[in-house]
A and B are shown apart, each in its own frame.
Chain A
Amino acid sequence: MKLSALIVAAGAALAAPTAIASPLSISLEAAATNPTSPQMGDNLSFHSVIRNDGASPVDGVIAWISLVRVDKGNEQPVDLEDWSAHKAITVVRVRPGGTIETDWPMRLIQAGRYRVVIIAASRSGSALTASPFANFTVRQKPVVDSAQVLPVAFGIPLLLVGVMVWRRKRHGKAKLRGEPTS
């Protein structure tokens, strides 16, 4: 809920005609180590560089990651709670020409098509700065594998039936011989 409100606010702020252009710029790239065709459970990382292109320092910079799902009919902001523990950074001051390099790791929880963006705000700036989108698709991975579940689900009860039958036969034979039975 907070995230969606943040995205709406970010969109509104970016679209605001009176906002003064921020001296910050952000580039965003997928890490070279990312799998080419990631699936659920894989880890991805994105590398962002926030640069102060202005002539004066920018104080109190906050940058955060946003993720949106863009599958047709399933467009929605994603709550990063389960995807990443690294959701934001704060920097006291970025000097003119200075940069902040950040890695944004995440674990892929659900299949779908996604767009990730890094957004930055500063204490005194009147506009948000957003990076270009980085797109990725997460392949479905069978969470509960039937090839594993079925043998166990049918095999263990059958094994127990076998043990019960064997015990009963042994019990019966011992009884016939007049031996004590457990």
Chain B
Amino acid sequence: MSLLAIDDLTKRFGSLVAVHDVSLAVEPGELRAIIGPNGAGKTTFFNLISGFFAPTTGTIAFDGRDIGGLSAHARVALGMARTFQVTEIFPELTVFENVRVASEVAAGYRLRLWPSAHESAEIRRSVEGTLELAGLADKATRLVGELAHGDQRAAEIAMALALRPRLLMLDEPTAGMGDQETYEITQLIRRLHKDHNLTILLIEHDMRVVFHLADRITVLDQGQLLAEGTSAEIAANEAVQTAYLGKVA
């Protein structure tokens, strides 16, 4: 069964149809990239899946369960975590504190006033493990707001990972990054996918990143599904070349 199954999803803003009848199925363990020119509706599509706003029509099923009516936080509780195109972090807290909030919520402690010493130690270990994985262990005590852009993006991914997601949704993780930072984030995503078998849905503009990482690629154009296939199929697809790759070249 698909982990994420989307059927005929449509979102209208007044007369604008931002997402139009898009269907998509992501299998467990898959890394799926969503590409498309600016204004193709990729981020709107993400916002619909994560519960930022409700679809006009269509269904979203996560692990076989219809989640279209669930709030954003309920979707997180089911195992969907996301990052944003513009980094969303807690700037005046340290890297450790940023990730700790996520770990505590994931552990079900969000209303806890007095965690036991054992629970606190468990959270600490979990946060340290996540920071290690995201390559931020040496920056744990720094304020996130004072980090370099690439590290802030990594911190946001670390927060999403701390939620122990079954589906990780990354909205342009390499946006605004230099070559070295892009390389490091790409390697991180690759490790999460290959070593931890995490299912990942990825919006990305950088084609090198997409072709390097994705199992399958979905192409959106003007809110509609234009094509879907492997990297090779998408690279060879004429409609895609016209709509998207053609413009780049």
- Asked if A pairs with B, the answer is no
A residues adjacent to B (C-beta < 8 A): none
